[in-house]
């Protein structure tokens, strides 16, 4: 399973043609306590770099951008009742959506963990 990272602080875990998407540990640390997550509708088409979801914390509301293009095939319903899952497991149980990949070539433009860590360190 491949994991890639975007400059907008989203991660993508790819399994076949399904991409699971969420925000990175770094992003959730910057946000602070997450109090609300607005997920896209299943069936919505998302475009790489376009708005995909919204995450609200005690500090701010932030757009979550799609790191890849495709169709939303599942959302993490648990976040509706427990948005704090994002803080407890941003890169695990706190995932936002699953997308059927439209173009695997978009993954090439994303970073691996080492490159992302270096990007965050500045």
Structural domains of the chain ordered from first start = 2-107 (2.40.50.100)
Burial 52-78 (b: 16+ CB within 10 A, else e): bbebbbeeeebebbbbbbbebeebbee
The secondary structure of residue 39, as a DSSP letter, is: P
Q: Which residues of the chain have pLDDT under 70?
A: none
Contact yes or no for 87/23 (Cβ under 8 A): no
Phi, psi of 118 (to 5 degrees): -65, -40
The pLDDT assigned to 106 comes to 97
> What's the half-sphere exposure (Cβ side, CA atoms, 13 Å) at 19?
27
The pLDDT assigned to 1 comes to 79
């Amino acid at each position: 399973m491949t994991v890639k990272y975007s400059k907008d602080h989203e991660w993508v875990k790819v399994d076949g043609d399904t991409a699971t998407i969420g925000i990175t540990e770094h992003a959730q640390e910057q946000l602070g306590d997450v109090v609300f997550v607005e997920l896209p509708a299943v069936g919505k088409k998302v475009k790489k770099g376009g708005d995909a979801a919204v995450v609200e914390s005690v500090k701010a509301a932030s757009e979550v951008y799609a790191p890849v293009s495709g169709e939303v095939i599942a959302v993490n319903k648990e976040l509706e009742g427990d948005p704090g899952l994002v803080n407890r497991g941003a890169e695990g149980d706190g995932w936002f959506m699953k997308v059927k990949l439209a173009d695997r070539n978009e993954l090439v433009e994303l970073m691996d963990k080492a490159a992302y860590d270096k990007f965050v360190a500045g």
